[in-house]
Structure 1
Amino acid sequence: MANKAVVVYSGGMDSYTVLHKALSENDEIYAISFNYGQKHNKELIIAAQVCQELNIPHKVVDITAINSLMAGSSLTLDSDEAIPEGDYEDANMKSTVVPNRNMVLISMAIAYAVSLEASKVYYGAHSGDHDIYPDCRPEFVEAMNAVSLIANYQAVEIIAPFLKSSKAEILASGLAMNLDYSKTWTCYNGREKACGKCGSCLERLASFKQHNLIDPIKYEI
């Protein structure tokens, strides 16, 4: 039986690296992305382009019908609140939390994995997310994995390979694989160029700076 895995793929820098790591560890990869009403839905276009280039089956699942149940985040189109600027340590970045997002998305990815008879679901949580996002912390991943192993007749393992890694360490892993990060979108704003001011952009820029590299995507700043 082929070694199959599902990758929750946002089109961002972290999930792009996870996607390639999964490709190196499995025979068959199936990518799944979600339209949950995010303002930065440009990431879905980037994700589709990458999967087409890699010839990876890619599902984009529209869950905007439940957007009202996940409301209250500055990241979603239902909110008039501007995307906050500043580092992730800043209290205002908590406005970017989408209620229960990862539990919902991972649950759907698990269902997809079961339908494919895949044994693993990968997703790109990392240590830089821990302060702001509860659903990216080790205790959440461990609990979700425990549930996933017993939730169906077929056990599915949740794998977050960079759970305890920094953004710079993720970048180092990707550079070792010769990945092209111009094929990613990280900014919380979905404009033509990345804003360079939101927490996501600042963290990304800092990771390239740590490696004495220039980020290959274009910024407004």
Structure 2
Amino acid sequence: MKTIVICSGGLDSVSLAHSIAAKGELSRLVSFDYGQRHAKEIDYAAACAQRLGVPHHIIDMRTIGASLTGSALTDDIDVPDGHYAEDTMKVTVVPNRNAIMLTIAYGIAAANGDTGVATAVHGGDHFIYPDCRPAFTEAFDTMQRAALDGYADVSLVTPFVHKSKADIVTEGARVNTPFADTWSCYKGGEHHCGRCGTCVERREAFHLAGIEDPTTYEDPDFWRAATGTAEESA
């Protein structure tokens, strides 16, 4: 299989890229600039592609993203602090984002003779993001098979869809993912803020996986209160 990985530059997608590369199946990475609050993570995706020796496609979706309003990731709305399991995090939803990105990735795969499109959606995303849930990914794969019927045979690869963020950290460590060279924070400062949903989830995942977190956080202890993790259990 030749597999294209949708790579944001975050921990999940970079770990996925390294995992697929370890199998000798990685063909290319694709990243999307949809006018998100910051595009800092795209630099990390570019570095991943260079490290793994594959082409990197950066798709300019800013005009599309400008119409996907109402999200803290695209509009002038404060990114909330706390855990993803809180209702306040729904303000980070960008409507139909994954469906749009996957559609483009399938087209790139078909045009280049790739046979798989891999995305790092995982169990921790299900509460907030409808286009990360198994029901969506399964239906999307069926739809795309119909869209490319007779032209290309491309399947959706979602190895993390039933796994936790801690499972991803474990897999990433197994394939020597350089976690320090990934970016998760929604706020895009000099360092990870340590307070937004992605930072809290990232820090908690390393803790649960029992793997040292190399990330520098502006607020390194906020995750404990957000997740109910006692100091002595660290």
Q: TM-score, length-normalised on structure 1?
A: 0.94
Match in the other structure for 1:99: 95
Match in the other structure for 1:122: 118
Deviations 1:111-160 (A, max 9, x none): 00010011110000000000000000000000011111121121210111
1:27–1:91 Cα change, 3 Å:
closer
**1:4 and 1:119 in contact (8 A); partners too:** yes
Question: Which stretches in structure 2 are left out of the alignment for 5+ residues?
Answer: 220-234
Match of 1:99, SS state, is coil
Match of 2:32, SS state, is strand
Match in the other structure for 1:205: 203
1:203–1:162 Cα change, 3 Å:
same
Find out whether 1:148 has 2:114 as its counterpart: no
Match in the other structure for 1:53: 51
Deviation at 1:55, TM superposition (A): 1.5
**2:73 and 2:186 in contact (8 A); partners too:** yes
The two structures, once aligned, show a CA RMSD in angstroms of: 1.2
One-letter code aligned to 2:60: D
Q: Give distance in 2, aligned partners of 1:161 and 1:201.
A: 22
Task: Identify which of 23, 26, 30 aligns with 1:25.
Answer: 23
One-letter code aligned to 2:123: S
Deviation at 1:203, TM superposition (A): 0.6
Match of 2:66, SS state, is helix
Aligned length: 217
Match of 2:98, SS state, is helix
Match of 1:75, SS state, is coil
Match in the other structure for 1:135: 131
Deviates more, 1:42-51 or 1:137-146: 42-51
Find out whether 1:214 has 2:212 as its counterpart: yes
Task: Identify which of 41, 57, 65 aligns with 1:67.
Answer: 65
Match in the other structure for 1:196: 194
Q: Give distance in 2, aligned partners of 1:73 and 1:28.
A: 32
Task: Identify which of 16, 21, 25 aligns with 2:14.
Answer: 16
Q: Give distance in 1, aligned partners of 2:214 and 2:12.
A: 15
Match of 1:70, SS state, is coil
Q: Give distance in 2, aligned partners of 1:27 and 1:124.
A: 16
**1:126 and 1:166 in contact (8 A); partners too:** yes
Match in the other structure for 1:165: 163
Deviations 1:9-42 (A, max 9, x none): 1101110111112213344511000000111311
Match of 1:69, SS state, is coil
Match of 2:147, SS state, is coil
Q: Give distance in 2, aligned partners of 1:121 and 1:26.
A: 15
Identity across aligned pairs (percent)? Answer: 40
Q: TM-score, length-normalised on structure 2?
A: 0.89
One-letter code aligned to 2:190: E
One-letter code aligned to 2:112: L
Deviation at 1:179, TM superposition (A): 1.9
Q: Give distance in 1, aligned partners of 2:51 and 2:114.
A: 22
Q: Give distance in 2, aligned partners of 1:114 and 1:19.
A: 19
